[in-house]
């Protein structure tokens, strides 16, 4: 979806809401008038821009600019930003100005650790309660991932890969599981934007396909192992390898310099 620029207002101050963004071919704006819908419109658009790395970490999000672009009041913008802040995608600076969050390496590691716990439990739950219609829903999304990979659009591919995990959590039928997985996956997307390296989505697509097969076979152990390995692979792409800190050998250093004297 093309995001509205923050540095200029649109020609008309229409009020908008977002079509569900699971299918990129249907993403866009439709007219809306209620305050909750307008708040969700701003939230969904800014969230998508962050997930696709169009709004990079550290980007300032002034309320007046957002309000002008979306044709909404600052009150509505403030509510949308508060929701994004709760999800860890936006942070407030000392001057109370909002900006796209920049997670630290420590926060990144903690986020991935929680994500592994949540998603292992999600796929085990689904495997034990598998329904045939789940396969069609998940495989349709994987087809969207393949289509996006073929277009050479890494931002779209990355977002769809992340949304696969949110869709898996949705299949549990547990609103809290869906919410917490959605939040942690979104934070991981932000972490990838900060620390990640360019990579092909082919591996992710293969891993998603294998995961669907394991859940369809009701093999909870296999599904859990596949999910854990998959998230570890995502984390390895997101975070640089830890540096091994060594304590210098003072005696060795001094001996080297002592023997070097004339």
> Which domains does the chain show, CATH number per domain?
16-100 (1.10.10.10), 105-238 (1.20.120.530)
Banded model confidence at residue 253, pLDDT cuts 50, 70, 90: low
Integer Cα distance of 34 and 21 in angstroms:
20
User: pLDDT by residue (tens digit) across 106-131?
Assistant: 998 999 999 999 999 999 999 999 99
More confident residue, 210 or 258: 210
| Cβ(46)–Cβ(55) below 8 Å | yes
- Give me the pLDDT at residue 29, please: 36
* Model confidence at 91: pLDDT above 70: yes
More confident residue, 26 or 85: 85
List all residues 6 or more positions away from 89 whose beta carbon is below 8 Å from its beta carbon. Answer: 47, 50, 100, 101, 186, 187, 190
Integer Cα distance of 172 and 167 in angstroms:
9
User: pLDDT by residue (tens digit) across 50-70?
Assistant: 888 888 888 899 999 899 888
Average pLDDT value for residue range 6-20: 34
Lookup: tokens for 189: 């997307």
- Give me the pLDDT at residue 223, please: 97
* Model confidence at 14: pLDDT above 50: no
- Give me the pLDDT at residue 88, please: 87
């Amino acid at each position: 979806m093309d995001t509205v620029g923050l540095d200029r207002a649109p020609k008309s101050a229409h009020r908008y809401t977002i079509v569900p963004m699971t299918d990129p071919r249907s993403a866009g704006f439709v007219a809306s008038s209620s305050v909750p819908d307008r708040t969700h419109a701003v939230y969904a658009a800014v969230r998508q821009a962050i997930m696709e790395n169009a709004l990079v970490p550290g980007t300032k999000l002034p309320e007046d600019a957002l309000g002008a672009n979306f044709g909404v009041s600052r009150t509505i913008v403030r509510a949308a930003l508060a929701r994004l802040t709760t999800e860890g995608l936006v942070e407030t600076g000392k001057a109370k100005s909002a900006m796209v969050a920049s997670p630290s390496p420590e926060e990144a590691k903690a986020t991935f650790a929680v994500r592994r716990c949540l998603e292992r439990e999600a796929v085990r739950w689904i495997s034990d309660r598998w329904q045939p219609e789940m396969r069609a829903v998940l495989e349709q999304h994987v087809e969207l991932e393949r289509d996006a990979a073929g277009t050479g659009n890494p931002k779209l591919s990355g977002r769809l890969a992340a949304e696969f995990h949110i869709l898996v959590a949705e299949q549990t039928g547990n609103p809290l599981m869906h919410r917490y997985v959605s939040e942690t996956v979104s934070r991981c997307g932000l972490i990838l934007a900060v620390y990640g390296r360019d990579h092909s989505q082919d591996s992710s697509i293969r891993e998603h396909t294998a995961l669907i097969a394991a859940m369809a076979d009701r093999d909870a152990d296999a599904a859990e192992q596949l999910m854990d390995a998959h998230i570890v692979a995502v984390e390895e792409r997101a975070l640089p390898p830890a540096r091994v800190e060594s304590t210098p050998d003072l005696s060795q250093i001094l001996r080297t310099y002592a023997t070097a004297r004339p």
